[in-house]
Structure 1
Amino acid sequence: MTDALTLAKAQEALQELGLNRCVDLLAPSAEWASENDATYIGFLVRLLESEIDERRTRRLQAKLRAAHFPYHKTLADFDFSFQPSIDERQIRELAHLSFVADGHNVVMLGPPGVGKTHLSVALGLEAIAQGLSVSFVTMQGLVSDLRRAHAENRLESRIKMYVKPKLLICDEVGYLPLDALDAANFFRLVSERYERGAMIITSNTGFANWGSVFGDPVLASALLDRILHHATTINIRGNSFRMKDKLRSGLAQSHVGVVAEQATE
């Protein structure tokens, strides 16, 4: 059998096994092995590692698409010097993701624009890099989705979809008050994830005002009991990043946002 026929036969076998990256790299890998006097094992390892790398990349891309992040921002992109109220060491510790493994929560409180969403996305990206499933949703998008599912008699399956990810990021809690149905649906979701799946929650509203947000102080108390039982609370006090350049150039007056209340367990 000629080298060309042998190569074609090997490519067909790899194709049948679903090793598509190996198919693409078989010929150049064989050439590399010949030029470098590689062993059969060395050639095989090189070929299979390329397949593993390709599959790892595809899985990562699939998880990124499934997460529905509003943008791609990492911890390296965050300007900690602009927000001195944030303990950078604490954020770096959270990036180790033990809170996700333990099914605990992170709550970020602070006025608009101080970096709550950026940090949440950055931690979500760290989780995906470690092979964990992540889902990002705004509070308004979440309750609208659950309300629709309730009307269509498929709330159960929709709740399960939000329970499934290892990390659920719920952004902008408290920006708009909720009606009784939306509040009840969110409470059920939090209850389903309690001690089973980690959450990152961002809010510009102090905990003392959650009774008004959820329209029921008793429900809000029960909700906070579950969220804060195993939680790290981060209070961010400072100016909006959207005003950073103007503030630094002296074109705008520094302003202090509403200070979120410190949570206690």
Structure 2
Amino acid sequence: MSMTITEIEKQLKVLRLSGMLATLESRALQANQSNAGMVEALSWLIQDELDHRSSSLRQRRFKASGLDEMKTLTEFDWGFNPKLPKKEIYELVTAKFIQNGEDALLIGSPGTGKSHIAKTIAHASVQLFQKTVYREAHVFFEDMFEAEQIQNRKKVFKLFTQADLLVIDDLFLRKKMPKDAADYLLDVIINRYARRKSTVITSNRPIEDWGLLLKDNAASSAILDRLLHHGHLLKFEGKSYRLKEAAQRLSRLPNNKEG
């Protein structure tokens, strides 16, 4: 028994084939105009469904990651800081290091692009359908502390330890660290190291200072030992992109010579 387009659409809704449903009419018209056979027309619809599901999965992964923007390298100004490790950065953005269970530390002066690169890596990970978690460092510690207070530590710990990629951005940006910061970070890093899950950390403080900043040299050594064992250490040197952008904004303001 043949079905009308309307009846087919109803059945596609029942079967939750949203990708096919969205393109059914246009594919039917295309098949009619090109005299396509049933198998060819069906293959178009199946590909539409696969593409729709892939797009939906990426959107869900991005929303769950904690990222607030989709950073790429296309808008990155390489000429401003020519000493940046360009080759190593491009290698990280391929996300191959995540598949290999490796880590990365991006260390350097404020404003040199560490957060941009970290977000770009996280975005690339999402595009590859990997479970990705991005947190600014102070939010990471707040999440861990709050989880303990409401007895939800197991769920949050699972989120941070089982993601394919965890990005902790701007570690030590805030001079005053939480009392249990060393324990929180150590627990997560040790667990991720055992699972061969990749971690990216950015910081404007040299790794030699981490023990002092965490107020725990032993924990700091254990954290760095695991991060660097299968890790990449990239140093960011140069001028601040933020100061450059601020100067550009000021230059566009009308000159006020009065007062």
- Structure 2 runs not aligned, ≥5 long: 252-259
- The total of aligned residue pairs comes to 249
The CA distance in 2 between the partners of 1:117 and 1:123, in whole Å, is: 10
Q: Residue 133 of structure 2 aligns to a residue in which SS?
A: strand
Name whichever of 9-18 and 76-85 sits farther off: 9-18
Matching residue of 1:169: 167
- Structure 1 runs not aligned, ≥5 long: 252-265
Matching residue of 1:256: none
Point out 4+ residue stretches in structure 1 off by more than 3 angstroms. Answer: 245-249
2:19–2:51 Cα contact (<8 Å) kept: no
Name whichever of 145-154 and 38-47 sits farther off: 145-154
The CA distance in 2 between the partners of 1:182 and 1:111, in whole Å, is: 22
The CA distance in 1 between the partners of 2:161 and 2:213, in whole Å, is: 23
1:179–1:215 Cα contact (<8 Å) kept: no
The CA distance in 2 between the partners of 1:127 and 1:207, in whole Å, is: 25
Matching residue of 1:182: 181
The CA distance in 1 between the partners of 2:143 and 2:164, in whole Å, is: 20
Q: Residue 76 of structure 1 aligns to a residue in which SS?
A: coil
Matching residue of 2:212: 212
Matching residue of 1:229: 229
**After superposition, what is the alpha-carbon deviation per residue over 1:210-235, rounded to whole angstroms, capped at 9, x for unaligned?**
11111111221112111111110111
The 5 Å alignment of 1:108-123 reads 108-123=106-121
TM (norm. structure 2) is 0.89
TM (norm. structure 1) is 0.87
1:110–1:236 Cα contact (<8 Å) kept: yes
The CA distance in 1 between the partners of 2:158 and 2:140, in whole Å, is: 13
C-alpha displacement of 1:248: 8.4
Q: Residue 235 of structure 1 aligns to a residue in which SS?
A: strand
* 2:88 equivalent among 79, 90, 95: 90
2:18–2:52 Cα contact (<8 Å) kept: no
Matching residue of 2:36: 38
2:88–2:234 Cα contact (<8 Å) kept: no
* 2:57 equivalent among 45, 56, 59: 59
* 2:66 equivalent among 65, 68, 78: 68
Matching residue of 1:238: 238
Matching residue of 1:126: 124
The CA distance in 2 between the partners of 1:80 and 1:221, in whole Å, is: 33
Amino acid of the residue matched to residue 222 of structure 1?
Answer: A
1:177–1:212 Cα contact (<8 Å) kept: no
